[in-house]
Structure formats: C-alpha cells, structure tokens
Structure 1
Amino acid sequence: MSHEPLDPSNPFAAPSTLPYGLPDYTRIRTEHYLPAIEAGLAEHRAQVEAIATDAAAPTVENTLEALERSGRLLSRSLVAFFNQSSADSTPEIDAIEEAVAPRLAAHLDAIHLDGRLFARLEAIDAQAAAGELVLEADTAWLLHRTITTFVRAGVRLDETAQDRLRELNAEITRLQTVFGREVLAGQNAAAVLVTEEAELDGMAPDARAAAARAAAGRGHEGAWLLELILPTGQPQLATLRDRAVRERLFRASSSRGLGGEHDTRPALLAIARLRAERARLLGYEHHADFVAADATAGSAQAVADILERLAPAAVANARAEAAELEPVLREDHPGATLEPWDWAYYAEQVRSRRRALDEGALRPYLELERVLADGVFRAATELYGLTFAERRDLVGYHPDVRVYEVFDADGSGLGLFLADYWTRDAKRGGAWMNNLVDQSTLLGEQPVVVNNLNIPKPPDGEPTLLTWDEVTTMFHEFGHALHGLLSAVRYPSQSGTEVPRDFVEYPSQVNEIWSWEPSVVRAFAVHHVTGEPMPTEWVDTLLEGRQDGEGFKTTEYLAAALLDQAWYRLAPDEVPTDPEQVEPFEAAALERAGVAFAPVPPRYRSAYFNHVFSSGYSAGYYSYIWSEVLDADTVEWFGENGGLRREVGDTFRAKLLARGGSVDPMAAFRDLRGRDPRIEPLLVRRGLTAAATA
C-alpha cells in the first residue's frame, strides 16, 4: 500500500470548504478515491501509533479524545466513497471497494487488537473506578463502549487466535462486497421486459411511462421494463391485471441469486460459515449471540422469544386475509389457488371493494414534491421548528440529488439534507440514510445526511407520483435523517444514529406516524393537476384502513427475520457447503419457525438478503420489530401529550434524538417514557393481540 503523501490537488487532501463540509462533488472523480483512502490509512496508522506510544500517562485527552480526533482524512474519503458505491456505483468503484474492503478490515483490526492502546484505556477506566478521575457522563459512556469494542474485537485473545481473526475479518469483508455487487447486478439483470402494451393493463399511465423510459435507457425502444426493487414483493404486482405477467415478475424477483451469472449462494454460505467461526473464536455459541450481546436485546434467546411469540398470531392473521382474497381471485380464475403473485393485486381489489378506494386512485394525490415539502418537512417544522431551503448552488454526487439547508427554530444553520429518491441501475435496492458529515462539538462539525429511495423516475417534465408505501418510506428514512440532523453530542462516534442496531430503527419508525396524521395528510394529499385536496372521505377511508393487510406484512417481515436468525444460529460445521442446499435450508427454517405459508414469501430470500449478508444487519434484521416495541409505546406517549405539537417534539428531541449514542439507549427511552417499554401497543397496532397470552 502506498505511503506517499496525498497530492494537494486531490479534493480529499484538505477538509471541504463548502457549507457544512459537504464533499466537493464538482471536483471529486473516481480516480481520487483510492489515493485518498490509502493516504488516509497511512495517516491514521501514524496517529494511532503516536497515541499508543505516548510517554505521558494515559488521560482522556491524550488517549480517548485523541482517538476520536484521529483519522479525519480517512473518514472524509471513506464516507464519500461508500456513499457513492451504494448510490451511484460503476465497475471502477466496485473494483476499488473490493480491493479496499479487506485493507480496511485489517486496519481496524490493527487498532482494536493493539494491546498498548487497550492498556491505556484500561488505565483510565481504573482511575475512574478508584474515584481518582471524575468523567462526564458522555465520556464515561464513550470509555465503556470503546473498551467493549476492543474486547469484542478480540484484544484479549492470544496471538494465534488474533491472527486467525484477522484472516476471518478480511475475508468476510471482501465477501460482503462480492455479495452486494452481485445482488445489484442480478437485480438489474432480472428486470422484466414487456413488449406488448396490453400486458400492462391496470398499470397507471405515469408508471407505464417510467417503464418505457427505463426500457429505452437499456436500448429497448417501444418496450417497457419492469425494474425490480430489493424486496421480494414488487409494487407493480398490486396493479397488473395479467396474471401471467404478475407470475413472471414475481418469479424474476424471487429467483434472483439462485444460480446463473449472478449466483450469490457461494458468497452467502461462506459469509455465514466465517461469521460462525469468528463468533466461536470470540467465545460465543454463534454469530446471533455475538450480535445480540452488544445490542439492547442482550441475547439471541431474547430475540427468539419475541419472534416466536409473534409468529403464530401473524400467520393466523395472514391465513384469514388469504381466505378473503381467494373468492375474489376465483371470480377471475375459477378453481385457481392463491399464489404469491396474486396477493398484492387481490388485496387491492378487496380493499377497494371494502373501502371504495384503491392505490390507483390515491397516486395522483401523492406527488413527490408535495409530499416532501408539505408532508415530511412540514411535520418536522411543526414538531421541531425546523425549516428547509433548497441550495441549488450546492452539488450532490449525482444529478438527481437535491441539497437542502436545514435551519433550527432560531434561524441558525443546523446542517444539510441530501434527497436522492429515484432509482437507477447504479444504485443498490431499498431505502437508506447515510451520513456524509457527523455532528460533533469536539470537531466543530455539523451534520450532512443523505436519504436514498428507489422510486421509478418519470419522463422529463412529468411528476413523480407515489404509492402509499413510498410515502411512509419517505417519512421513515427522514426519521433517520432527523436522528442525524438533531444530534447534539461531543464525540463523533456518538453522533446521531451511532446507536445499537436494534435501537437505530426506533426514531425512524416513530417518524412514520406523521404520514398518518390527518392534518399532515390533508396538507400533502393534493391532486397534482387540479390542485384539489384529496376528498375528505378518501382521507378518512385511508386512515381507517391502516391495519389492512397487517397479517401479510407482519408474516413476510417475520419470515425474513427468522431466516436471518436461522443462518446465524449455526455452528461453523452446520453451515451448508453446497449452494444447492440454500433453498432446502431456507424452506426447512421457515417450516420450523411456523411461518412457511406459501402465498406469503419472506420479504427477502437468502440469495438477495442484502441487509444481512452485505450491510450491517447480520443477525439483526429482528431490529425492526424490536424497535417497533419502543416506537409503538412512544406513539402512545405522543398521543397522551397532544400529538403533533412543538413542545412534545422538543421533549422527544432533547431526551432522545439529540443524545445520539452518548448514553445507554434504554436509559434514554426510560427518561422519555418514565418506565421500561411495554409490548401491548405493538400488539394492538399489528393486530396481534392473540400473541398477548402466548
């Protein structure tokens, strides 16, 4: 690896001079990343070595805070790089990522396995324990978390075990990159090309135009391309009347990665096996226990207990919903059996009959710009006093990206929000939030956060009309953004979403409730052509139907969460070695967990389960339902205190959002709620009250 100083002309050589430290995307090119990362690794190694060999006695300032201040070149180059690799990748970016990933793993190992650094941290801890040193609460928590990180990284293992650990970490990191790259490539390759417009019957005109644009973009003029999103269920399944096309789309989605050019099975099996070996090396029974031990769950058994408690009631609800759908299916197809590709379409038919409202009728009232300004931003203004101004003078990492400056209630600048909502072949599937700059008073930095979605892009000049799921996803991801934007911590490693994985979804899920707030819905649900508000009775019907389909939604989610746990509760020698064993393992795991209900497949099958084989949710996909216990309880708290009110928002901000990872997260929850969380609000919300006695 190069140790040459970084060329001063490289955009990463010095901190960005743009507002809030936004990376200067007018200057950044692919060729700048690798030299900056390599120089950043070398600089950080030198800085850490200086801390480890400091002749002065260990102090908070020369050890703990020095570690927090170190690695700034590496940090600013990596956050920009990984943001681009997920949102706007290229073969060149992919190659850099595959080369850099194991180096980065080795770099982190070199820090966390350094006995000299660990001894300094333990010395500070001993001083505090003896009463010789009084630490501020956030510093004490930082010290505790840093020591925990070193221990979990293996600092107390012998040299032979540490050498093996380094090998495992490097290979796991490399394979994660391979898996993610193949998932994206397979997702693009599996898009369904339709050449007869009659087969698109039922598809809204704007969605049809977006499909035509996508087809033309790949050289298929006069055709329509149904691009895939990451989950198993595809939005078009709710509207396409042609059952054969629906089946074709579903099979394309659910078979991704199961063989062929973009087979992900060898990588996922290797990842599962290596993580299992690493967990054993570190003293845990399996990877699921390793993950849960450092989360609010505490143990894999606690995770299993809640998932097993919810699964039977969820599946019972899904079966009841299926019984409603089958007679409607048979009106069109006598004698047919309900299949996964039928569910969304006939659920929409049943809903429209029951409530005289369907997705197609809603979409003209759900225009992206209006939802963002009068929905997402409006709720943040009412709750926290925030205001937003688009900065057309600032450039994002792709032409689709829009940059907004965020102002606090007193008019002071708070940070930047980047919105990247449209899908493209170079963007990985799903929706997510990234930080480009972490808030930190130690470093004097304010936050820059990104939200990514994958909404089909309409032809130029046409509006982007959303599904209701896309509306709630916008609110969800902006909840993550608020966690970053409203952070008010000292240390960068405690900024915003730097909390346990099974806590990070909590604030984002809380923010979803404002997409259902009647006053907010009435503000953003306006016809994009006529300007007429959505009819009041439609809004009422929409809100009344909030629990529609909860059996399906909960079952598909739990199936994925239980599948994640199944892979990561294996010992190394229990992980299959033959890729052909992936599907039988998956089927057996779902059957064993009681969620093998054919019309409701898992939200993600193993072969494209990016969350747990490429991103940071391995053995942690349960986090969404775990966090929802806190979320549903907090929604009750909002209701008890007047709902969408500034005073209530300020309390939630001060006691939870602003504190980021500077305190024990459950202590922050108890400070807000005055007690431990209760599961009952979740059971009511999800229609799972039958689980209350389980």
Structure 2
Amino acid sequence: MTDAETNPLLTPSALPYGLPDYRLIRTEHYLPAFEAAFAEHRAEVAAITRVRSMPTFENTMEPLEASGRLLGDVARRFYTVSSADATQEIQDIDEALAPLMSAHEDAIQLDAELYWRIKTLHESLDALELEPEQRYLVERHFREMTHAGAGLDETAKQTLTALNQRLSTLTTTFEKNLLADSNDLAVVFRDASELDGLTAGELSAAAQNAADRGLDDAWVVTLTLFTGHPYLSTLTDRESRRRIFEASRSRGSRGNEHDNREVLQQIVRLRAERAALLGYATHAEYVTSDETAGSPAAVHDLLRRLAVPAAENARREQAALQAIIDGEGDDASFPLAAHDWAFYTEKVRAAEYDLDRTALRPWFEAERVLQDGVFRAATALYGITFTERDDLPSYHPDARVFEVHNADGSALGLFILDLYTRDTKRGGAWMNSIVSQSRLRDTAPVVVNNLNVPKPAVGQPTLLTLDEVTTLFHEFGHALHGLFATVTYPHFAGTNVFRDFVEFPSQVNEMWIYWPEILAGYARHFETDEPLPREIVEKLHASEAFNQGFATSEYLAAAWLDQAWHSLDAEAAAAAPDVAGFEAAALTDIGLDNPAVPTRYSSTYFAHVFSGGYSAGYYSYIWSEVLDADTVEWFRENGGLTRANGDRFRERLLGVGGSKDPLAAYRDFRGRDADIGPLLERRGLAS
C-alpha cells in the first residue's frame, strides 16, 4: 500500500501545466490512488447533498463541478497508459478497476439527493439569472443523470448498477482479448521474397518486430485494428496477402482463450437489458436519444440512403479490378478476393490516373509532415506555435512533448505525440487528455495523439503512407479541439461533446493535407528535398473520388453492424445470435454483403463499439462528415487558409467545447444548417 506522502498520484505535479511526472509513478500507485480519489469524490458530493437550504447554482452546481478533481486527474493519467503502454501489470489493474469505476460512477450519477437538487434547479431555470454556460450546465447535468437512471426507484437502481459493473468488466475483457490475439496473430515470414513489394523501411520495421520477439532471420508483420492492412496494396505475393488478411479477420473468433464471441454476445444482451430498464426499446434507441441524431430511425435513414449507391460504385470498381486480373493471362486469372482488392486497386489507379500512391512514401517523412504540415497549417490558421520540450518526461520514451503558445505569446498547453506501434499499445489511432482546461480549476490542457506507425530500425527514416498522413492530420484535429476549448466548467472541457459531433473538427482538419502551401511545405523527398511533382499532385486531386465505393461500403457495413447488434431488444439479444450468421444477415439486409468488400471491422475485433465509447454510435463518422464537407466548402468560399477563417472556426466551434448545443454552434459558424450535398459529391454518391 502507499499513502499520500509516497504516492505521486495523490499530490499535485510539480511539472508545468500539471503534466504528471511518470518517472515517479509505479504500477502499485494506481489502485490506492483510485481508492483515495473515490472516497474524496463521494465526500465532496455528500457535502453538497447535506446542505439544508434550497438548491442554488452556487451551492449545488459550482461545488459539483469543483468535485472529483483528484479522481479525474488519476483516471486520465492511468487510462493514458492503459491504452498506450498496457503491460500485463497495467492490464491486471485495468481489469480490477473496471467494476470499481463503474460502481463509483453510478454512486454519483444515481444519487437521489443530488438528482433532486439538480432537478429542482432545472424546473426553475427560467427564473434563475444564469449565464448561457451556466444554464446549459444545469440542462446537461439534469439530462445526463436522467438518462443514466437517476429517476429510477432504488430496486431498479441496484439492478442497473449490477448491469453497469458487469458491462465494464466485459468491455475490458474484450479489449484485453483483442490485444492478446492481435499480438499472437502477427504474421511471421521466413523468406524476404515473400514480402516483395515492401519498401526498405517497411522491411526494416518487420525485421525489428521479429527481433523484438526473439526471432532470428525472420520478418513479422503486425496487424492493424481495421480489417485491411496497408501492406496489402504492395505485396506482390498473393499468398502473403492472404495470410495477413485472414489473420486479421480471425481475431477474436478462433475458439481459443482470446475468443470474443461469447463476450460480445453478453455485452449486447446486457446493454439491451439496461436499455429496457431505462425505458427504451433498444440500446440504439437509448444512445441516440441523447445525441444530435435523436433516434435510430434518423441514423438508419442516412445509412440506407448512402448504402445503395455506395454498393453500386463498389461493384463497378470490382469489375474494373477483375478486368485487370483477367488481362494478366489465363494462367494467372482468378476471382478477385478481398485480400486482392488493395493490390489491384493500385494497378487500376496507375492505369487510369498514372498514379502509384504506394511510391509516394519518400515524400512523406514523418518529422517533416509533422513540422511543415500539421504544425504549419495550425500556425497559419490560428497563429499558434510549437516548441519541443525534451526536458519534460512523458509516459513512454517514444512519446514527445511540445509546448503550445498562442499568437500573442501566451501559453496555451501541451501536446504529446506518440507515433509508433508496439505490442503494449492498443490498435488504431486516438486523442485523449491528461489535463483538461477549466477556468474554475485554473487548469490548461495537456492532450495526447496516438498512432500506430511501424517503427523502423535505428537510423532509418520514418516514411508515412498517405493514409498515415491523413490519420496524423485527423487526430491533430481532435488535439486542436482539446487545446482550444475554453470553458469555465470542467464538464464541458475539450472534446466533451455529443459522440456524433466529436469527429467533426478532426475531419475538417484533414482538408489541409492537399492545401497547396501546406502540401508544398511537407511533401518533399526525404533524400533530395525535391517537392512532390505538380503532376502527381494533380493526379491525387483527380483521383480523390477513386475507390470511394469500396471505402464508403466498408465503413457503412461496420456502422450497420453496430446498429444491427444494438437494435436488438432484450428478448432477441438473450437468444445470443450466432455471430457469423448475424453479421451475414445484417449485411444482406442493407445490401453490403459483397465478399470482396469486407466490413471495416468484424464484430469480434470491433473495439470502437465493444470496448470503446462508440456503441450504437459508429455512425458518428459519416454523420459528422456531413458537417465536415459543408465546412470545407465554407473555407473554400471564404479564402481558405487565413487567420480570419481560423479565428472564426476556433471562436465559434472549437473554442466552445461542450458548453453549447453543437448544432447551434454550427449554425453560429456557418449561418445555416449543414447541407448534405458536399458529402455526396465527395464520396461520388451525388447521382
């Protein structure tokens, strides 16, 4: 055990911006720190509910927002590590912590006396003289506590708490299984010729992966979170492509100790039971009722509207790929399989656009993309600057710390970039906060971006694919949201907005990838410093809608699977549908059952919805993209990359955090509601 005198998690950090000193934190510090933080938070809330006078904003909402600071600090420090550097010890803590955290959250959210005080304030809102952020704070706390079940009777609350604790354990188990199975299924190659088509840097990364596993004369290809893999576009050996693809598809469904099928069936059943307890027909109805979408029907209408033309486009693309295969000669002809799609797509792209995207990596050296691309665009738009702080420690040696300043020189916060993949890091890419901004608490933001780029051997450059460049810009859009949100109350800090709005700022930030003055700065050959040739840039623009049938279909398939699982009522979910059969039926229902175009995530490795925060919400990406595409049109109509445009976007959208209804904030920025037309044009679906 540890106490406050020896536990660095229980004392304020001495580092700038409250950055935790991870050099001092040991694994045995976490659970005692959580226990102390739980107790402190409960005591703080109890002090609010013991007040004998009638509720006011000052005696209820302000102390509520001040409460839980220690718990928030400890949790953000721990979950940063548990997602990015999950050693076995950290995983064990995460597993033990899951039901404890769930029980504590329920103790606060379901507190009847606290709910009465907030409900009383909500009923008299019009009579209170509150600032807009204060009024919205009362509205959101009341809505969120009601949505969480605070209005239930005590027996129902006990049942709800048990469901929540069991779900927290299961979702942690799902993620733990997925990480273990992904590591076990990393594909080992014993002959370099099997990896023909990979660059020297990619081979170097594969060799390093093998060395890290103690394998001599071998190359190891680790798996990405999504179904496909970047290497499928270049590997000339069809058998190698098949091995990587099938390893990816089999995660969590091999009948071993890491099998996720029964886990996800239990998650679906318990979520349906919880929804029924809370008065909703399905988990999807429960989730969307407190999002901008409002209902599953609105989500389904959008997904079905897009699925038909997307599937038609994918079939046309498939025919073009099959023609390439058939044209290679009778002996080589075979039906196009899913693991062939990316490889032959590049052949079609080369034939139609004379463009080989896989050959562009020498122009996308990671440090240059970061400094002269991502950071430069942010400076041009918002005037902010970045200074690397080698003197400040992070949670892992690969995680780099940058101090961010506003145009006037004032301090804004810290940005941490953790670029490389490792066995202890979960798949995918994400942003999170270690410290959130709040005027009430006098705190500035510390935000993190995580990617999973293969790390080359020492001395070799990190050359990114175009998709990885896109991911870096995308995640930095989330980071900007976390850095710029300027609110009084921590409840609204950073990216604490509706789930189906949170992807909007990150998607908008992708627009600067091809912006001429930004592209010219970062897309330069790592050896010769020659800029990416103008004719290639023109071809990239010309091919932007290329392969969108596939890209849209694989995404929509995953979004529909999420909706299908979470549209089961409690009775149907209790039947524990066979996972493979359920997936097949769901994809047939929406017309996305093309074997050559697999879903972006199959259920057993769909971390977004079974261990992340996107259950019944994976539609959020396309929902937010309606706003994104419309916003890109606005920037183009108003002069593009200018400080005036950046300041307007920062002030009216990014800067409000969650302190305002997001669609009202969008209307304030755009002057109207979003138009779906630009999205349809972007994805080749307008006709």
Same fold (TM over 0.5): yes
- Deviation of residue 56 (structure 1)? 3.2
1:4-53 CA distances to partner (integer Å, 9 max, x unpaired)? 99332211112212111111112111111111111101111111111111
| 8 Å Cα contact 1:518-1:539 kept in structure 2 | no
Counterpart of 2:160 in structure 1 is 165
Letter in 2 for 1:556: E
- Deviation of residue 122 (structure 1)? 1.9
Q: Secondary structure at the match of 2:415?
A: strand
| 8 Å Cα contact 1:522-1:539 kept in structure 2 | no
Counterpart of 2:28 in structure 1 is 31
1:157-188 CA distances to partner (integer Å, 9 max, x unpaired)? 12221111011000001101000111111111
Counterpart of 1:79 in structure 2 is 76
Q: Secondary structure at the match of 1:143?
A: helix
Q: Which one of the candidate residues 289, 293, 318 is aligned to 2:289?
A: 293
Output the CA distance in 1 between the equivalents of 2:619 and 2:230. Answer: 24
Taking the TM superposition and a 5 Å limit, the aligned residue runs for 1:165-184 are 165-184=160-179
Letter in 2 for 1:658: G
Moved over 6 A (4+): none
- Deviation of residue 128 (structure 1)? 2.5
Count of aligned pairs between the two proteins: 684
- Deviation of residue 66 (structure 1)? 0.7
2:305 paired with 1:312: no
Letter in 1 for 2:262: P
Counterpart of 1:443 in structure 2 is 441
Counterpart of 2:488 in structure 1 is 490
- Deviation of residue 645 (structure 1)? 0.7
Q: Which one of the candidate residues 649, 653, 656 is aligned to 2:653?
A: 656
1:331-383 CA distances to partner (integer Å, 9 max, x unpaired)? 44633111100000000111122222213320001000000000000000000
2:565 paired with 1:567: yes
Counterpart of 1:343 in structure 2 is 341
Output the CA distance in 2 between the equivalents of 1:55 and 1:156. Answer: 21
Letter in 1 for 2:586: A
Q: Which one of the candidate residues 47, 53, 76 is aligned to 1:56?
A: 53
CA RMSD of aligned residues (A): 1.2
Counterpart of 1:208 in structure 2 is 203
Cα 1:512/1:408, change in 2 over 3 Å? same
Taking the TM superposition and a 5 Å limit, the aligned residue runs for 1:118-137 are 118-129=115-126, 131=127, 133-137=128-132
Structure 2: gaps (5+ residues)? none
Q: Which one of the candidate residues 655, 675, 694 is aligned to 2:672?
A: 675
| 8 Å Cα contact 2:233-2:358 kept in structure 1 | no
Output the CA distance in 2 between the equivalents of 1:6 and 1:307. Answer: 52
Q: Which one of the candidate residues 218, 221, 224 is aligned to 2:216?
A: 221
Output the CA distance in 1 between the equivalents of 2:615 and 2:563. Answer: 9
Q: Secondary structure at the match of 2:272?
A: helix
- Deviation of residue 192 (structure 1)? 0.5
Cα 1:576/1:459, change in 2 over 3 Å? farther
| 8 Å Cα contact 2:269-2:576 kept in structure 1 | no
Taking the TM superposition and a 5 Å limit, the aligned residue runs for 1:570-649 are 570-575=568-573, 577=575, 581-649=578-646
Counterpart of 1:518 in structure 2 is 516
Q: Which one of the candidate residues 358, 377, 395 is aligned to 1:397?
A: 395
Output the CA distance in 1 between the equivalents of 2:139 and 2:470. Answer: 36
Output the CA distance in 2 between the equivalents of 1:6 and 1:40. Answer: 12
Q: Which one of the candidate residues 147, 156, 166 is aligned to 2:151?
A: 156
1:250-272 CA distances to partner (integer Å, 9 max, x unpaired)? 10001111122310111111000
Q: Secondary structure at the match of 1:414?
A: strand
- Deviation of residue 458 (structure 1)? 0.4
| 8 Å Cα contact 1:487-1:657 kept in structure 2 | yes
Output the CA distance in 1 between the equivalents of 2:662 and 2:385. Answer: 28
Letter in 2 for 1:479: G
Output the CA distance in 2 between the equivalents of 1:205 and 1:355. Answer: 26
| 8 Å Cα contact 1:204-1:360 kept in structure 2 | no
| 8 Å Cα contact 1:611-1:621 kept in structure 2 | yes
Q: Secondary structure at the match of 2:407?
A: coil
| 8 Å Cα contact 1:5-1:39 kept in structure 2 | no
| 8 Å Cα contact 2:2-2:29 kept in structure 1 | no
Output the CA distance in 1 between the equivalents of 2:574 and 2:121. Answer: 45
Output the CA distance in 2 between the equivalents of 1:151 and 1:5. Answer: 37
Counterpart of 1:356 in structure 2 is 354
Letter in 1 for 2:145: F
1:621-661 CA distances to partner (integer Å, 9 max, x unpaired)? 00000000000011111111111111000000000000010
Output the CA distance in 1 between the equivalents of 2:29 and 2:351. Answer: 57
Q: Which one of the candidate residues 95, 100, 122 is aligned to 1:98?
A: 95
The two structures have a TM-score, normalised by structure 1, of: 0.97
Letter in 2 for 1:652: F
Q: Which one of the candidate residues 325, 344, 357 is aligned to 2:321?
A: 325
Report the more deviating stretch, 5-14 or 438-447.
Answer: 5-14
Letter in 1 for 2:288: A
2:246 paired with 1:251: yes
Q: Which one of the candidate residues 178, 192, 199 is aligned to 1:197?
A: 192
- Deviation of residue 73 (structure 1)? 1.5
1:375-399 CA distances to partner (integer Å, 9 max, x unpaired)? 0000000000010000000111000
Output the CA distance in 1 between the equivalents of 2:512 and 2:289. Answer: 33
Output the CA distance in 1 between the equivalents of 2:429 and 2:7. Answer: 31
Output the CA distance in 1 between the equivalents of 2:584 and 2:679. Answer: 28
- Deviation of residue 576 (structure 1)? 6.2
Q: Which one of the candidate residues 60, 67, 71 is aligned to 1:70?
A: 67
| 8 Å Cα contact 2:44-2:68 kept in structure 1 | yes
- Deviation of residue 545 (structure 1)? 1.5
Q: Which one of the candidate residues 3, 14, 18 is aligned to 2:15?
A: 18
Q: Secondary structure at the match of 2:500?
A: helix
Q: Secondary structure at the match of 1:325?
A: helix
Letter in 1 for 2:423: D
Q: Secondary structure at the match of 2:142?
A: helix
Output the CA distance in 2 between the equivalents of 1:618 and 1:269. Answer: 13
Output the CA distance in 2 between the equivalents of 1:442 and 1:6. Answer: 28
- Deviation of residue 61 (structure 1)? 2.0
Counterpart of 2:416 in structure 1 is 418
2:268 paired with 1:272: yes
Output the CA distance in 2 between the equivalents of 1:123 and 1:5. Answer: 41
Q: Secondary structure at the match of 1:120?
A: helix
1:90-125 CA distances to partner (integer Å, 9 max, x unpaired)? 111111111111111111111111111111112222
Letter in 2 for 1:400: D
| 8 Å Cα contact 2:224-2:427 kept in structure 1 | yes
Output the CA distance in 2 between the equivalents of 1:405 and 1:354. Answer: 45
Output the CA distance in 2 between the equivalents of 1:15 and 1:36. Answer: 13
Output the CA distance in 2 between the equivalents of 1:128 and 1:574. Answer: 41
- Deviation of residue 577 (structure 1)? 5.0
Letter in 2 for 1:65: E
1:583-642 CA distances to partner (integer Å, 9 max, x unpaired)? 011111100111111111000000000000000000000000000000001111111111
Letter in 2 for 1:313: P
Q: Which one of the candidate residues 170, 182, 191 is aligned to 1:187?
A: 182
- Deviation of residue 578 (structure 1)? 5.5
Output the CA distance in 1 between the equivalents of 2:136 and 2:448. Answer: 27
Q: Secondary structure at the match of 2:462?
A: coil
| 8 Å Cα contact 1:637-1:673 kept in structure 2 | yes
- Deviation of residue 327 (structure 1)? 1.5
